[in-house]
Structure 1
Amino acid sequence: MKYGLIIITFLFFTFSFAQEKEKQDLKALKKANEYVYQGNESVNNDDFVSAEMDYRKAISEHPSSVVGAYNLANSYYKKGDFEEALYRQQQVVENATSKDEKHKAFHNIGNILMKGKKCKEAVEAYKNALRNDPTDEETRYNLGLAKECAEQQKDKQDQNKDNKDNKDNKDNKDNKDQNKDNKDNKDNKDNKDQNKDKKDDKKDKGDQDKKDGDDKKDDQGKPKDDKQDQGKGDKEKKENQQPKPQPGQLSQQQIKSLLEAMNNQEQKVQEKMNAEKQKGVQIKTEKDW
């Protein structure tokens, strides 16, 4: 009996708390709707600043209300602030409880993406809108436009990629050709240098031959007698090879002169003796020297 009373009391307070929360939620929703209404009036008067403030107040009063976020997104869209509009529409998708709300949010997301030239992403948004309301012909029409736009963008990207690849291939070919030209120019330069070296060697050899030829001529330009030069050289070589006299000794020339003088003296003595014989005078046999 005691436990039953406790349970009943707990249920009573729970029910009362739920009712109070529901009342507060309804009150907040009512207040949010009032702000939404004010925001709509501001939009009709082209006062987007006041409209934005009212829609923000509506979201603050009842965050789960999609009406305030939806209308705020539409106001941003009309002002051209597509990034903020997209963010608010995504909030609507997260808080939406009905397919109709989701359908409208996805449809508007597709429109915002098309404004930003994001055609591929817009195709997916329109598809999600049709999943929630397949009967909307306007969404289906926009889906066709988004598909065509996405296909064109894909073709353009492929073409740009092909152009880039062709440009890269051309640049690589040009680089290869340039490298080949540089190599050919280097080889030609090396060949020229080599030919120049050969030419210089040949010139040097010709100059040396000319010099040798001039060396074989005398002062009058006539060829020199190699044999005469050779004999002269042999004589000089022979004289250079003769032993030089040592200190205190007679040289070969001095000995030769002495022998010639002795021979002359002896010849004179012999002539004198022959003369004495003819006169009958006896000569001395001793030598007086």
Structure 2
Amino acid sequence: MRKEIILSVVLSLALAPSWAQDENAPIKAGNKNFKAQKYTEAEIEYRKGLLKNSQSFEANYNLGNALFRQQKYQEALQQYQAAVPLGHDSKLKLASALHNAGNALLLEKKVAESIEAYKQALKLNPNDNDTRYNLAFAQYLLKNQPPQQNQNQPQNQNQKQDQDKQQQEQQQQAQQNDAMSKEQAEQILQALMQDEKETMEKAKKQPKASRKGTEKNW
């Protein structure tokens, strides 16, 4: 029986501080584009922000979100990882960056690494049920990964026929596993997008002063 894959993503924007207006102008412009779902334009603005200050947590983190939205998961991961050492002034900042890094790792099929990222995020924010759920999901995936095929087959000539048959079966199994993996990744992506869409729709219906959840103002 196929299990529905549901994964929670936190793509809230880190807001630039009010001081250093000129330096943070690109970040604010990027946030505006991001909220309008113009992720390519948002990426451009965040990169401008990094040119002004490469040590900006907000620029690195938000750029990661824009890249994630464009399904550039490896690039997004790099930005989240760059943001982590820059956000030590806030445990919530670090937790969100690690949470999203875990999501990017999972979509890159690096399940074991995603588990470590989620664990680190939970240490910083133990009450985050989204991260706790994603951790459990990643652990389930790791537990149910297909076993690695043994590549060291005997080379005895008398066993050649059996070996050829086994290699053919392994190739077929590898193709099936790859297809399942691609399908799984697509399901995860769809779940991520739907989760974020619902979050944004709910947020729009609430007064600005009472918005909570994934929209963290830093």
TM range (shorter): 0.5 to 0.7
Match status 1:68 vs 2:52: no
Aligned-residue identity in percent: 33
1:77 and 1:71 map into 2 onto residues whose CA distance is 10
Tell me, yes or no, if the aligned pair for 1:73 and 1:88 is still in contact at 8 Å. Answer: yes
Shift of 1:69: 1.0
Residue of structure 2 equivalent to 1:147: 139
Q: Which has the higher contact order (CA 8 A, sep 6+)?
A: 2
Work out which of the residue numbers 116, 119, 122 in structure 2 matches 1:124.
116
Residue of structure 2 equivalent to 1:94: 85
Which 5+ residue runs of structure 1 have no aligned equivalent? 1-24, 178-289
Structure 2-normalised TM-score? 0.59
Work out which of the residue numbers 75, 79, 82 in structure 2 matches 1:84.
75
Alpha carbons of 1:174 and 1:45: their partners in 2 closer, same or farther (altered >3 Å)? same
Tell me, yes or no, if the aligned pair for 1:86 and 1:109 is still in contact at 8 Å. Answer: yes
Work out which of the residue numbers 36, 47, 54 in structure 2 matches 1:45.
36
Which 5+ residue runs of structure 2 have no aligned equivalent? 1-16, 162-218
Shift of 1:176: 8.9
Total equivalences in the alignment: 144
Tell me, yes or no, if the aligned pair for 2:40 and 2:66 is still in contact at 8 Å. Answer: no
Tell me, yes or no, if the aligned pair for 1:85 and 1:112 is still in contact at 8 Å. Answer: yes
1:54 and 1:176 map into 2 onto residues whose CA distance is 60
Tell me, yes or no, if the aligned pair for 1:32 and 1:68 is still in contact at 8 Å. Answer: no
Alpha carbons of 1:112 and 1:176: their partners in 2 closer, same or farther (altered >3 Å)? closer
Residue of structure 2 equivalent to 1:137: 129
Shift of 1:26: 7.8
Tell me, yes or no, if the aligned pair for 2:92 and 2:125 is still in contact at 8 Å. Answer: yes
Equivalent residue letter for 2:80: Q
1:133 and 1:72 map into 2 onto residues whose CA distance is 22
2:64 and 2:117 map into 1 onto residues whose CA distance is 16
Alpha carbons of 1:26 and 1:135: their partners in 2 closer, same or farther (altered >3 Å)? closer
**What's the C-alpha RMSD, in Å, of the aligned pairs?**
2.4
Residue of structure 2 equivalent to 1:249: none
1:176 and 1:72 map into 2 onto residues whose CA distance is 54
Match status 1:113 vs 2:102: no
Structure 1-normalised TM-score? 0.46
1:62 and 1:156 map into 2 onto residues whose CA distance is 46
Tell me, yes or no, if the aligned pair for 1:32 and 1:57 is still in contact at 8 Å. Answer: no
Q: Which has the higher helix share?
A: 1
Match status 1:174 vs 2:166: no
Equivalent residue letter for 2:93: E
Tell me, yes or no, if the aligned pair for 2:102 and 2:117 is still in contact at 8 Å. Answer: yes
Equivalent residue letter for 2:123: R
1:140 and 1:108 map into 2 onto residues whose CA distance is 13
Q: Please identify the structure whose Cα radius of gyration is greater.
A: 1
